Structure 1
Amino acid sequence: MKKWMITHARVQVVFVAGILMMLAWRPVMAQTPPSARVSATQAKRVQVETKISSVTVFMSGAELKRTGNASIPAGRSELVMAGVSTDIEQQSVQVGLEGDLTILSVGVRKNFLNEEEVKEDIKALNKQMEGIDEKLGRQKKSLEIYRQEEAMLVRNQELKTGNLALKPADLKAALDFQKSRLEETYARQLEIEKSMKELELEKTKIRLHLGELNDRKNLSVNEIYALVEADKPVQSRVEASYLVNKAGWFPTYNVSVKDISSPMQMQFNANVFQSSGEVWKEVKISLSSGNPRENNARPELEPWYLRYVDRSISYSQLPSFTGGNMIMGRVVDEKGVPVSNASIQVKGTSQGVVTDANGVYRLNNAAPGAVLVASFIGYQSKEFAALKGFTTVELLESSGNLQEVVVAGYGLSGRVAGVAVEDDRKQRKVTLNTTTKPIGVSTVYQPISTRYDIKEIYTISNDGKVNMIDIKRISINADYEYYTAPKLDPSAYLTARILDWQSLDLLAGEVNLFFEGTFLGKSFIDPATAGDTMSLSLGKDKGVVVKRTMVKDFSSRRFIGANKTETRDFEISIRNNKTQAVKIIVEDQFPISTMKEIEVDRREHDGGRLNEETQVVTWEVNIVPKEEKKHRIKYTVKYPKDKILQLD
């Protein structure tokens, strides 16, 4: 059995070769009887029923594989696979067949007949909707009439007969008449209200059906065709694969630390979403760290010609993206799905970047506290402060110009794979559930990417919602240590140092941090920026108390001649209120003179390690429970007395 496969690019080669052959054999074809030429060019249409059997989801985009069986007659046939989304990369289409036959061409086209059928169905439903609206209008008018009659009967309960007294028989007849009419009025109102509810329910069903038809009209009216030729009838298995755009996945992590004497527990989650126009029903899913949209062409150096610099251009004002402080974060929509290609710009400058396929931005040399502006087509721009660490920015859909912009919204809600997620646009609460087990996943290492093959069968709806899949859980032996710089912040930050992190197959992603059963907030893992040791900040621990106070008895200010001499003496105290011993790195610093008139002298740092270049002093302190340790840092600065220095 032979298996033939032809891509869109090879179709062009076959097509060109066919034209050249036709031109070469034109005299022979001219002598061929017309009936023979017709039979050679006509193709029998063979409809092939296929279903999506497997999906490989990339960081951006997904490759779908359809499978089915076909009975192919002898001669030339056109195999047609319908119901394919319009969200498809035509160059990615491949068709594979088994059997003794030849594939002549492969392509994608719109099925206008199916589209017309859908349009006719939409027209019929719209007409049905108009009929229901007309019935509802009549029912509302009838209900209004009966309610007016009810009000009139109630107002006329007191009979006015002037000076004439009603006989008992007349009074009874009047009361019976009013009772009868009220009962009839109430009954008719109930019937009308019931009928209106039924009409509204029918209207809702039609509206949902219209939504499905519109999706089919816009997204699922493509068909893949393959022109094949066989010498004899063949029973063949058909495989078709193609790439869709509106799909992807991004990794997130839940990191839980019970205490500093226990291993760190890491849960690796994959967040899968798609709105490609087709339901991935009961399919095998693989997740790839690759991105087929990346430019895979290797760079090549061009000749470097030196030219004089144009002094009219102020190069100091041009954006710089090397070195400096890194500002990182992710841009998401209202439902928590990453927004790729969103713009992040420093307000008032030309410095900016765009987010990657996972909505992540990295901005160098942005001053802490600077105002950043996040923007994307179809969303309201949002200003926020540039803060160290990882910041998640949520963009809201714009209320204007929605007719001109198509915006896909995704939701993150429910309980998936042991993780409960609550989304209310204002606050997201993530709860780590360690009682469930992750699904079976096998990891395949490829030359330029990693693939995770999920063993369970999944259904991913065409609704754009995020489906969270628990890929794996890892117990990591980490070295825990605390860090504090009390001059800046009198807090003890717990840090987990992971030595052999390269063997964990981590991808860049957002982290939910849990320490001693408490949710601490979010961080970010970026293996691209990690060294031999990956450090993960777990946040502040109030069980370790740090204070930095000035020792007034040893701090002074003196005036000698034209100079002023100031002495600063600080005491740093660290107290361990936890039940376990802790190791903490304490840092402070001496000032550095930038001119000869300023002299820094008499530096004392109580046994700390001094970095001569940065003048940073580091103490490594081990403290047992309930113990307190103290360190001192002292320095003297002499400078002209008519100047002012900030020494505190």
Structure 2
Amino acid sequence: MKVLWTSFSLCLISISVLAQSPLTGQASLESVTVYRVGAELNHKARISLPKGRSELLINNVANVLDENSLQIAAGANVTIMSATFERNFLKDENKSPAYLKLEDSLKVASRELTKTRNIRTSEENTLVLLDKNQSLHGNSASVAELIKLADYYKTKQLELRNSVALLKEKEVVQEKQVTKIQQQLEELNANPDKNGGQLVLQVMAENAATTDISISYLTPNAYWTVYYDLRSDKTTEPLKILYKANVMQSTGIDWKKVKLTLSTGNPSQNGTAPVLSAWFLRYGTEYQLRGRVAGTQMQNRIQTLEERAAPPAAPLAEMVVTQDKGIADFTTANENQLSATFDIDIPYDIAPTGKQHSVTLKEYTVPARYKYYAVPKADPDAFLMAEITDYEKFNFLPGEANIIFENMYVGKSFIDPNATSDTLNLSVGRDKKVIVKREKITDVAAGVKFLGSQKKQTFTYEIRVRNAKKEPVNLLLKDQYPVSTDKNMEVELLESSDAAVNTETGVLTWKLSIEPGETKKVRLSYSVKYPKDKIIANL
């Protein structure tokens, strides 16, 4: 009876240990939706569960996740009781594939280094033994035997010393390789974000069964940015716009052959509508007023930058798609109520390095009207501009653009769809064949005059534009004259060569049509009268 009780106790202990040991499963990443900030990851894990309550460890999830966004679903007879996120990177199951690969590489490299060292030591010991035994014992050896023995020692020593030298060189190379791998492992250990995380689930199964567990969550360690390629072969042809994305992720897990979707939305942005409260005025000091005004200006500047960086709510409209076969043909643009998504049908591999991974989304052909634009006071070159009307229906995102004109890379531009005008002007680059020169005309007689207590200065500029191209060009030319901010300062526009004048800003605009080989001239002249005891710093 005593033996039976002992066996039964051991059985209970065994059952208790088994019940406390957690089950382990790997989360397979199936699809990812990348937002402008953050990403939603969707996993599946197939687990065999015993009847009753179990603790389940799910590996290969992101290193950082928003636990409020965590959603887990299992089979009909399985209940998820609780879920906890862990980042215990000392466990082997939480090490990233890159870390495990480096560990294997270190083992192989260390093994090869040990072999090389052992061979070198053996050769060196043989050389020492040879040196000790090369002396001749007795005087019975003939001259021929002495010569033969000397040749043997010489040949063997040379062979061993050469072998040792080569082994030392090989050893140095292998030591560098081992050191390099060790440093890479140390970098991974120093940055735990390069490894994945783990979910601890408490589950209850009505019956023993194998079930699929679906897991989705948001992680901040991924995002995408937009950029464009603007291509134009001739000013008589439409503008080609390649819509591209740079995708970055540092979630600690490899995205291997995942279904990738890019969204213009931002799930981390506060979705609560603002409410105005009463605005009570109070007296304050002048110092407080100045500080508040400066702070308001800075806040407005920050808000302006944020608005420029923020993606618009709507997507790109369906424009004319080019017939070139490429990745863009496998991308579908979908319009939602508050955002847009680009579904890519080709599975993607993106490593968790945080480096940019370029993805081509769509290629469009957009009707455009080309013109040249020059502001010689600010820049001596003329710029070719592509003018797009009704651009609101395209709903572009703000982003940098690479410019390729006539099959040549000519620079960068920026697409800013948040402009308030009804026309979007895209810079296609500089054109050196439209030559613009702005020169100041020196006139001593009319330059400076003193009229009593007043001083009057006159400025005259001549702008020459030459068309060195084989076709006519239309040029929008701009310059300016100063605007007075003081009642004692008088500015008068004397000559404008029939320019359109904005008196509030002082900007002059000429619309010039220039034939091939033709040169056109315009003049700008203005005077500034102010008290002679004053100095205008920026005149």
Smaller-chain TM-score bracket? 0.7 to 0.9
Contact 1:95-1:106 at 8 Å conserved across structures? no
Q: Which structure is higher in helix share?
A: 2
Flag structure 2 segments of 5+ consecutive residues without an equivalent: 1-11, 132-141, 311-323
Partner of 2:8: none
Contact 1:482-1:584 at 8 Å conserved across structures? yes
Partner of 2:157: 181
Contact 1:487-1:548 at 8 Å conserved across structures? yes
Paired letter, 2:233: K
The alignment status of 1:513 with 2:403, answered yes or no, reads yes
Q: Tell me how far apart the structure 2 counterparts of residues 466 and 314 of structure 1 sit (CA, whole Å).
A: 45
Moved more, 65-74 or 201-210: 201-210
Q: Deviations over 1:303-328 (max 9, x none)?
A: 2111112223361672454799x8xx
Partner of 1:457: 347
Moved more, 451-460 or 255-264: 255-264
The alignment status of 1:250 with 2:140, answered yes or no, reads no
Partner of 1:28: none
Structure 1 residue aligned with 2:38, among 35, 41, 61?
61
The alignment status of 1:225 with 2:116, answered yes or no, reads no
Show the 5 A alignment for 1:143-182.
Answer: 173-182=149-158
Partner of 2:509: 618
Paired letter, 2:247: V
The number of equivalent residue pairs is 495
Partner of 2:240: 265
Q: CA deviation at 1:485?
A: 2.6
Q: CA deviation at 1:110?
A: 3.6
The alignment status of 1:479 with 2:369, answered yes or no, reads yes
Contact 1:118-1:213 at 8 Å conserved across structures? no
SS of structure 2 residue aligned to 1:179:
helix
Partner of 1:238: 213
Show the 5 A alignment for 1:330-479.
Answer: 438-479=328-369
Partner of 2:256: 281
Partner of 1:306: 281
Q: CA deviation at 1:488?
A: 3.5
Partner of 2:68: 91
Structure 2 residue aligned with 1:574, among 465, 468, 472?
465
Partner of 2:315: none
Q: CA deviation at 1:206?
A: 8.2
The alignment status of 1:108 with 2:87, answered yes or no, reads no
Q: Tell me how far apart the structure 2 counterparts of residues 211 and 636 of structure 1 sit (CA, whole Å).
A: 66
Moved more, 77-86 or 621-630: 77-86
Q: CA deviation at 1:278?
A: 1.3
The alignment status of 1:584 with 2:465, answered yes or no, reads no
Partner of 1:380: none
SS of structure 2 residue aligned to 1:278:
coil
Contact 2:38-2:222 at 8 Å conserved across structures? yes
Q: Tell me how far apart the structure 1 counterparts of residues 537 and 217 of structure 2 sit (CA, whole Å).
A: 65
TM-score of the superposed pair, with normalisation by structure 1: 0.63
Moved more, 237-246 or 214-223: 214-223
In structure 2, the CA distance between the partners of 1:613 and 1:319, relative to structure 1 (3 Å rule), is: same
The alignment status of 1:634 with 2:525, answered yes or no, reads yes
Contact 1:545-1:577 at 8 Å conserved across structures? yes
In structure 2, the CA distance between the partners of 1:123 and 1:194, relative to structure 1 (3 Å rule), is: closer
Q: CA deviation at 1:643?
A: 5.8
Q: Tell me how far apart the structure 2 counterparts of residues 235 and 602 of structure 1 sit (CA, whole Å).
A: 86
Contact 2:94-2:198 at 8 Å conserved across structures? no
Moved more, 44-53 or 511-520: 44-53
Partner of 1:315: 290
Paired letter, 1:616: V
Contact 1:493-1:537 at 8 Å conserved across structures? yes
TM-score of the superposed pair, with normalisation by structure 2: 0.75
Contact 1:492-1:544 at 8 Å conserved across structures? yes
Partner of 1:603: 494
In structure 2, the CA distance between the partners of 1:630 and 1:181, relative to structure 1 (3 Å rule), is: closer
Q: CA deviation at 1:88?
A: 2.1
Q: Deviations over 1:220-250 (max 9, x none)?
A: 35124252353x5666443111222321111
Partner of 1:381: none
SS of structure 2 residue aligned to 1:489:
coil
Show the 5 A alignment for 1:122-133.
Answer: none
In structure 2, the CA distance between the partners of 1:70 and 1:171, relative to structure 1 (3 Å rule), is: closer
Q: CA deviation at 1:603?
A: 2.2
Structure 1 residue aligned with 2:268, among 293, 296, 300?
293
Q: Deviations over 1:140-193 (max 9, x none)?
A: 77778899999x9xxxxxxxxxxxxx9787566544532333234334554666
Q: Tell me how far apart the structure 2 counterparts of residues 95 and 479 of structure 1 sit (CA, whole Å).
A: 53
In structure 2, the CA distance between the partners of 1:321 and 1:534, relative to structure 1 (3 Å rule), is: farther
Paired letter, 1:581: P
Contact 1:578-1:626 at 8 Å conserved across structures? yes
Flag structure 1 segments of 5+ consecutive residues without an equivalent: 1-34, 153-165, 327-351, 362-433
Contact 1:125-1:210 at 8 Å conserved across structures? no
Paired letter, 1:222: Q
Q: CA deviation at 1:534?
A: 1.8
Tell me how large the CA RMSD over aligned residues is: 4.8
Paired letter, 2:468: N
Contact 2:116-2:170 at 8 Å conserved across structures? no
Partner of 1:6: none
In structure 2, the CA distance between the partners of 1:576 and 1:555, relative to structure 1 (3 Å rule), is: farther
Contact 1:439-1:456 at 8 Å conserved across structures? no
Partner of 1:29: none
Contact 2:120-2:164 at 8 Å conserved across structures? no
Q: CA deviation at 1:593?
A: 4.1
Partner of 2:418: 528
Partner of 1:382: none
Contact 2:110-2:178 at 8 Å conserved across structures? no
Contact 2:89-2:192 at 8 Å conserved across structures? no
Q: CA deviation at 1:65?
A: 0.9
SS of structure 2 residue aligned to 1:281:
strand
In structure 2, the CA distance between the partners of 1:293 and 1:197, relative to structure 1 (3 Å rule), is: same
In structure 2, the CA distance between the partners of 1:123 and 1:322, relative to structure 1 (3 Å rule), is: closer
Q: Tell me how far apart the structure 2 counterparts of residues 235 and 250 of structure 1 sit (CA, whole Å).
A: 41
Q: Tell me how far apart the structure 1 counterparts of residues 188 and 127 of structure 2 sit (CA, whole Å).
A: 39
Paired letter, 1:623: I
Counting aligned pairs with the same residue, the percent is 30
SS of structure 1 residue aligned to 2:286:
coil
In structure 2, the CA distance between the partners of 1:227 and 1:114, relative to structure 1 (3 Å rule), is: farther
In structure 2, the CA distance between the partners of 1:474 and 1:189, relative to structure 1 (3 Å rule), is: same
Paired letter, 1:547: K
In structure 2, the CA distance between the partners of 1:318 and 1:596, relative to structure 1 (3 Å rule), is: closer
